[in-house]
Amino acid sequence: RKPCLTLALETSCDETSAAVVADGRIVLSNIISSQIPVHQKYGGVVPEIASRKHIENVLPVIDQALKAAGVALTDISAIGVTYGPGLVGALLVGVSVAKALSFAAGIPLVGVNHLEGHIFANFLAHPNLEPPFMALVVSGGHTSLVHVKGYNEFVLLGQTRDDAAGEAFDKVARVMKLPYPGGPYIDALAAKGNPEAIAFPRALSGKNSFEFSFSGLKSAVLNYLNSAAQKQEEINTADVAASFQAAVIDVLVSKSLQAAAVSGVGQIVLAGGVAANSGLKAKLGYECQQAGISFYYPDPILCTDNAAMIACRAYYQHQIGDYADLHLNAKPSLKL
Ligand code: KG4
Ligand code: ZN
């Protein structure tokens, strides 16, 4: 039997990526052209520049993905593409190219939700993982608890009311004069600090509330840094990073466990860029073990934006005939 190959494109933010996945689970190639160095000097993603870079990179990245997988376009069974959420101009590049390829080669087109893609990265990392499970999606743009009941059945339990977890990491890092994106730098600095040094707030930590809020925490860190600067006090940046990170992690971990308990599922998966955070993985892993819950997370390369996770999601949509047509458009605020 020939494997079912899905080719996917991901251009929702600042990574141009193309990947080929076999039978939904085996990554044959996952080419990621990151624009991080381009945006770093602005301290964040500049949408106009992101779109232009995607246009420059997208075709070479697709060529590389096919070559690295050792396959031709004619071997592909379905073409997946992220159509939201994300930056509209960035999304449009992937969507336009995927539509053109699908039309020219007569291959079915699958529109993929970026957040579902992040969750599905776990199927690539763990060949035996199957729904149902609770997914904590923590990225630069989103913080959500999703009950994944089946491969095509998702129930959103709650999300952030304001900043996403990754956004809080990036904003705190920015005022601490760390490079963009700040998450990995805070993570490294936190490992050298005392997480109990400063008592930062844990918002909305009520029982069985699955909404998050991180803007108050971000302000608390900024106020702490400003008042120390005014008083010309020496600050321990490692302690600030560790205490901030601990506040984020406490809320994420306790809500994930409550959500799993309420939904009666015995598995929790981490997804999205912040899933690469070492403190989060350690704490959630420990608490899951205590509670007798299986815990999964992807390798860092599958946590941040990549097309392999989109190809995985596209495979499962292809299985049920969930195709898009040439009217597919970018949806910047697409929901789960
Ligand atoms: O999923 P992603 O690549 O893009 C979005 O869809 O948003 O996530 C990027 C986010 C950034 O906010 C980045 O700072 C954060 O993930 N991130 C981390 C770590 N690695 C990436 N946050 C905390 N600790 C990390 N190790
Ligand atoms: Zn993402």
Amino acid making up residue 18: A
Atom of ligand 1 nearest to the CA of 245: 23
Q: How far is the CA of 211 from the centre of ligand 1 (A)?
A: 20
pLDDT tens readout for residues 231-287: 999 999 999 999 999 999 999 999 999 999 999 999 999 999 999 999 999 999 999
Check whether 305 is labelled as a binding-site residue: yes
What is the number of the ligand closest to the CA of 304? Answer: 1
Instruction: With beta carbons less than 8 A apart as the criterion, state whether 145 and 259 touch.
Output: yes
Q: What is the pLDDT of residue 113?
A: 98
* Site residues for ligand 1, CB cut-off 6 Å: 13, 139-141, 166, 169-170, 181-184, 187, 272-274, 276-277, 304-305
- Mean of the per-residue pLDDT values for the chain? 97
pLDDT tens readout for residues 298-316: 999 999 999 999 999 999 9
Q: Which of 12, 139, 278 to mutate to test the pocket of ligand 1 (most atoms within 8 A of CB)?
A: 139
Check whether 137 is labelled as a binding-site residue: yes
Residue with the smallest CA separation from ligand 1 atom 8 is: 273
| Across 20-29, 129-138, 151-160, 203-212, least confident range | 203-212
What's the rounded mean pLDDT across residues 16-29? 98
Domain ranges of the chain: 5-119+303-319, 131-298
pLDDT tens readout for residues 58-99: 999 999 999 999 999 999 999 999 999 999 999 999 999 999
Instruction: With beta carbons less than 8 A apart as the criterion, state whether 313 and 152 touch.
Output: no
The answer, yes or no, to whether residue 121 has pLDDT greater than 90, is yes
The answer to whether domain 5-119+303-319 and domain 131-298 are alike in fold is yes
Residue with the smallest CA separation from ligand 1 atom 10 is: 140
Whole-prediction pTM value?
0.96
The answer, yes or no, to whether residue 206 has pLDDT greater than 90, is no
Residue with the smallest CA separation from ligand 1 atom 23 is: 183
Check whether 170 is labelled as a binding-site residue: yes
Residue with the smallest CA separation from ligand 1 atom 7 is: 140
ipTM here: 0.98
The answer, yes or no, to whether residue 153 has pLDDT greater than 90, is yes
Q: How far is the CA of 306 from the centre of ligand 2 (A)?
A: 8
Atom of ligand 1 nearest to the CA of 165: 12
Q: How far is the CA of 312 from the centre of ligand 2 (A)?
A: 15
CA 14 to chain CA centroid, Å, is 12
Q: Which of 32, 143, 169, 252 to mutate to test the pocket of ligand 1 (most atoms within 8 A of CB)?
A: 169
Percentage of the chain beyond pLDDT 90 is 96
Check whether 126 is labelled as a binding-site residue: no
What's the rounded mean pLDDT across residues 197-223? 94
Distance in angstroms (rounded) separating the CA atoms of residues 233 and 35: 37
Fold of 131-298: Nucleotidyltransferase; domain 5 (3.30.420)
Q: What is the pLDDT of residue 264?
A: 97
Atom of ligand 1 nearest to the CA of 279: 24
| Radius of gyration for the alpha carbons in the chain, expressed in angstroms and rounded | 20
Q: What is the pLDDT of residue 288?
A: 98
**Eight-state DSSP code of residue 305:** S
Distance in angstroms (rounded) separating the CA atoms of residues 193 and 240: 8
Backbone φ, ψ for residue 79 (5° rounding): -110, 120
Residue with the smallest CA separation from ligand 1 atom 3 is: 304
Rounded to 10°, the helix 165-175/215-230 angle is: 10
Q: What is the pLDDT of residue 321?
A: 98
Confidence class of residue 205 from pLDDT cuts 50, 70 and 90?
A: confident
Cα–Cα nearest to 215, from 200, 226, 227, 225 = 200
Confidence class of residue 132 from pLDDT cuts 50, 70 and 90?
A: very high
Q: Cα dihedral sign for 177, 183, 185, 189?
A: positive
The answer, yes or no, to whether residue 208 has pLDDT greater than 90, is no
Check whether 183 is labelled as a binding-site residue: yes
Q: What is the pLDDT of residue 207?
A: 79
The answer, yes or no, to whether residue 151 has pLDDT greater than 90, is yes
Check whether 209 is labelled as a binding-site residue: no
Check whether 329 is labelled as a binding-site residue: no
CATH hierarchy code of domain 5-119+303-319: 3.30.420.40
